[in-house]
Amino acid sequence: MEGLRESSTTANAPPLHTVQLMRRVPFNLVFALVYSVAILALFYLHARNLYYSTSLVSVFITLSLFSDLALAFMWTTAQALHLRQVRRKQFPENLNKVIERNDYPSIDVFICTADPYKEPPVSVVNTALSVMAYDYPREKLSVYVSDDGGSALTLFAFMEAAKFASHWLPFCSKNNIKERNPKAFFESNYYSSPETEIIKTMYECMKGRVENVVERGKVEDEYITSDKEREVFSKWTDKFTRQNHPTVIQVLLDNSKDKDIAGHHLPNLVYLSREKRKLFKGLNKTDIYAGQFKRLFQIHPSGFDGLMGGNFYGTGGFFSRRVFFGTPSTMLTPELPQLNPYYVVNKPTQSQEILALAHQVAGCHFEKDTDWGIKKGFRYGSLVEDTYTSYRLHCEGWRSVFCNPERPAFYGEAPISLTDVMNQQRRWVVGLLEMVFSKYSPLTFGLRHNGLMSHGYSQLGFWAIWSIPITIYAFLPQLALLNNLSIFPQASTKIISSSLTIQTILQGGRNMEGLASKYSYRHSVANSWPVYEAMVLRSDNGKMPAKTCVIGTALTWVIYVAGSFILK
């Protein structure tokens, strides 16, 4: 990497990427100043109305004030990510002009999965095949499948993928295929030829075998083609569960000896499921659950990139191994010399020494009484270990780069059912709260180390508090209206107009069209259309469960009726 960095900075070398400040940054600053004044004016009105209000009105105003304080805090943290937004442009075509292919750094690509039913093995296999088909020296590329579920179904899928890879990789190289994910390629308008149809038939055969095994729930003898495979699957006994199982490491492809049908070496492909002891604790076109998270994955990272670099959300990131061993100025020595970030492996992947070492570090006892998870490697202590690790690395002084090319570099699976969305959101929210209420909180520890960057991480960490003002404002205006009370500034108020609530302030900055349509009665109907669709019209996994619809409707009705009687 050092050689690449030095080569890329020579006087005559063409650029690998450029970075420029977005033109909207000055306007963002003006926007922040103007809206800060408006928010302060709103709080002044809240305080004045609270002082002169009756007891019943004061309850409404206090709730409104509490909600607005939460919204104002979240708005303030978001501004840190708009003050220095940058845009990068990449020039991969210049890479070979800067450095020889033989000097490319070796890279390890980890593909993580946990549940073969929620993350279909065929989709994970397609991801792995697209990575293995990178336009990159194969001897410098290693792909690791990390299976937290310890599933024999996933291992079988990758055994099939290893066989198919010997045909798919030379096909991509020979025909200069750009879309190297097999599923995406065969769903595109590809050029049909006898060779292409043969490859497609092989892919469909592999896909069918994997899906049949997943449907049956186990790898039966008819799908096992050798004694070696039978020995591998013998580890899955009746006592083998996803919560309690030994380490499973299977080298599926070894670059030193495995070749494709064209005679070229294949990348390393390794399946790994870490030891777990009993005593140790796809989107539809309308994306109704907002699974793309554009604000999280595109807008916020461009703001982080202008500070200390883009943050890490658990996928699509490349790390130098050195960052997991201390700060930029102080390197922590690993327990084993083979774990040193600069150590060069000079033995085959399937050698007994390498496999024995892999089993040792994948065991439960290796990290005991060490700095792993505290000062080394990914940081433990939060369910969102990706964001937490990203935050800690930035606090240590490491910098990163947000690369977001026009052609997506990675595709992933997103939840398409309400149950999966809620489970995902709950996990994220709990993990982020663990981060902000730890001793490394962005509001205390973070501010001492990286200022604005930490303020941006607070925007992520306190994500859960959005639920408080949203819930209050879902019921408060209606309850006030039922009791003929006013909780918002009157139209005659000179300081601020009646439409200038903190909700319209926040939404106005994001979507002026939404602000313009806010006063249209049609807007509420149109805005709720995805809800109607999920409750009634959909017939796939995205349909809202009937039980949830009934309970939600009943609770809403009870709250409104109870509030109406109580506050009369």
Q: Is 386 a catalytic residue?
A: yes
pLDDT of residue 159: 92
pLDDT of residue 125: 93
Place of tokens 């809800």: 531
Mean pLDDT lowest for which of 226-240, 252-266, 463-477?
Answer: 226-240
The binding site comprises 118-119, 148
pLDDT of residue 157: 93
The binding site for UDP-alpha-D-glucose comprises 118-119, 148
Residue 237 has pLDDT above 60, yes or no: yes
- Three-state secondary structure call for residue 276: strand
Residue 58 has pLDDT above 50, yes or no: yes
Q: Is 103 a catalytic residue?
A: no
pLDDT of residue 218: 87
Residue of 564 and 438 predicted with greater confidence: 438
Q: Which of 50, 59, 138, 54 is nearest to 101 (CA)?
A: 138
Residue of 554 and 281 predicted with greater confidence: 554
Confidence of residue 532 (pLDDT cuts 50, 70, 90): low
Q: Which of 559, 506, 503 is nearest to 82 (CA)?
A: 506
- Distance CA(519)–CA(309), nearest Å, equals 40
Check 115, 148, 254, 371 and give the catalytic one: 148
Q: If you average pLDDT over residues 19-43, what whole number do you get?
A: 90
Residue 281 has pLDDT above 60, yes or no: no
- Cβ-contact 155, 271 below 8 angstroms: yes
Residue 161 has pLDDT above 90, yes or no: yes
Angle, helix 467-482 to helix 546-566, in steps of 10 degrees: 50
Average pLDDT of the chain is: 80
Mean pLDDT lowest for which of 206-215, 351-360, 540-549?
Answer: 540-549
Residue 249 has pLDDT above 90, yes or no: no
pLDDT of residue 8: 43
Q: If you average pLDDT over residues 219-223, what whole number do you get?
A: 85
Q: If you average pLDDT over residues 270-280, what whole number do you get?
A: 64
- Distance CA(497)–CA(458), nearest Å, equals 31
Residue 512 has pLDDT above 70, yes or no: no
Residue 150 has pLDDT above 70, yes or no: yes
Residue of 272 and 499 predicted with greater confidence: 272
Q: Write the pLDDT tens digit of every residue in 338-390.
A: 888 888 777 777 788 888 888 888 887 888 888 888 888 888 888 888 889 99
Backbone angles phi, psi at 503, to 5 degrees: -65, -45
- For 136: left if phi > 0, alpha if psi spans -120 to 50, otherwise beta; the answer is beta
- Distance CA(466)–CA(71), nearest Å, equals 7
Residue 515 has pLDDT above 50, yes or no: no
Mean pLDDT lowest for which of 236-250, 255-269, 430-444, 482-496?
Answer: 482-496
